[in-house]
Amino acid sequence: MLMKKNNSQKHHVFANRDHGKGSALSFLDSEGADLKRLYKEADRIRHIHMGEEIYIRGIIEFSNICANDCLYCGIRASNHAVNRYSMTAEEIFSTAKAMVFRQQTTVVLQSGETPGIDDTEMGEIIRRIKKETPLAVTVSVGNRPYDTYRHWKDCGMDRYLLRFETSDPELFGRLHPDCTLEERLECLYALKELGVQTGSGFMIGLPGETVDTLAENILLCQKLDLDMIGIGPFIPHPETPLGGEKNAYEGNEEMFFKALAVLRIFNPDAHIPATTAYDAVFPGVGRNLALQRGANIFMPNDTPVGHRKDYLLYPGKPCVDESADQCASCVLMRIESLGRTIGKGHGHSIKNHRRNSEHGRHKHAG
Ligand code: 5AD
Ligand code: FES
């Protein structure tokens, strides 16, 4: 009897809290038994809303050519030590096709931000993958004009990933010589308006950020009502202007997981990947822990092995020497070891249905 009462009281600790900044800050401050409860609650909410299935989205880093100079990023234009590459349309297509046999149901096409691969060619690649494979297509190539996003949507693009990186406009400005936070958010609103499943997110521990910024980042994800949210620790890259800086939470790496757990509690029905950067900080276990503290998606690397070492956004990136097949079987092992199952089907946004029917209503009303 007593046990039961205690348990329900514990749930109320979370149930009675609003999802505002005060709660976010106090959750991020959890220690000891409170921290254990925070992780348990994040896992419980993930279970209730997203189930036990882990969806596998294979990522092809098809080009590291980038026109931008983001201060944190290893493939920024000014890093002349990078060996630049761009896969051909044929290579991208055959790499995507091979994913179907690895139980992967989504291909994520990611590259540096550049008009290097032109919008029309990109559209043709999307169209071909959609026509000749059963894969859902996610694109992640940075800020683009509305008409480009619309064209890609017409070609069959299902989803788009574009992190806002930080919700602090001043910090954003310092880190991105090529764009403002406002422009980045405009891109995200354009994608949402087009009915593309929209993913965004941020880095944890950028130099100059505070826990207050971190709470605001989580609240911005909530405000944007995102379909997918990817977050991960900032890792200084030696060949960048931030090479000599430290992660703002150095010595307090637990914060990376606290952020993830709070993110899940505040965004119960968003897809949240266990991102690669967690494994860079906690080799071999980071992504597994993320999956137990709120995440429900795994994004193995499908980039042809010869290119992987040239797509180092940060040092210590895992899977650089593994092949796509090795990563695919590693993922299956991890999922099994956690007692979870592989997602069947595309694992589209569970918010999408609602949004489409809202669109429908507006149309009729108009
Ligand atoms: N450390 C951690 N994450 C990084 N990214 C880029 N550079 C770094 C870094 N040094 C992340 C950004 C970007 C995503 C593709 O990789 O958040 O959106
Ligand atoms: Fe690449 Fe484990 S996911 S080796």
Ligand 2 atom closest to the CA of 287, numbered from 1: 3
First to last CA, the chain: 57
Boundaries of domain holding 339:
47-344
Whether 80 maps to a domain, the answer reads yes
Q: Is the CB of 235 under 6 A from ligand 1?
A: yes
Q: Is the CB of 258 under 6 A from ligand 1?
A: no
Dist CA 160 CA 207 (whole Å): 27
Alpha-carbon distance values, 202 to 21, 56, 261 (Å): 17, 21, 14
Ligand lying closest to the C-alpha of residue 71: 1
How close is the Cα of 237 to the center of ligand 1, in Å? 10
Ligand 2 atom closest to the CA of 331, numbered from 1: 3
Dist CA 122 CA 128 (whole Å): 10
Ligand lying closest to the C-alpha of residue 286: 2
Dist CA 252 CA 28 (whole Å): 12
DSSP 151-170: HHHHTT--EEE---B-S-HH
Name the β-bridge partners of 56.
298
Dist CA 144 CA 148 (whole Å): 6
- Unique residue bearing structure tokens 């999408």: 352
How close is the Cα of 59 to the center of ligand 2, in Å? 12
Whether 364 maps to a domain, the answer reads no
- Report CA 221 to chain centroid distance, whole Å: 12
Global pTM reads: 0.92
Dist CA 227 CA 106 (whole Å): 15
Ligand 1 atom closest to the CA of 233, numbered from 1: 2
Whether 168 maps to a domain, the answer reads yes
How close is the Cα of 151 to the center of ligand 1, in Å? 27
If one counts the domains in the chain, the total is 1
Alpha-carbon distance values, 290 to 26, 188, 226, 258 (Å): 20, 25, 19, 10
Mean pLDDT by 10 residues, the chain (366 residues): 41 67 96 98 97 97 96 98 96 96 94 81 97 98 95 97 98 97 98 97 98 98 97 98 98 98 97 98 97 97 96 95 92 96 93 52 33
Q: What is the phi-psi region of residue 264: left when phi exceeds 0, alpha when psi lies from -120 to 50, beta otherwise?
A: alpha
Whether 333 maps to a domain, the answer reads yes
Alpha-carbon distance values, 68 to 15, 80, 96, 166, 293 (Å): 43, 13, 26, 17, 33
- pLDDT of the residue at 114: 84
Cβ-Cβ contacts under 8 Å for 64 (sequence gap 6 or more): 75, 82, 84, 85, 86, 111, 112, 307, 310, 311
Whether 42 maps to a domain, the answer reads no
- pLDDT of the residue at 103: 82
Ligand lying closest to the C-alpha of residue 319: 2
Burial class (CB in 10 A: 0-12, 13-18, 19+), 276: buried
- pLDDT of the residue at 18: 80
CATH number, residue 124? 3.20.20.70
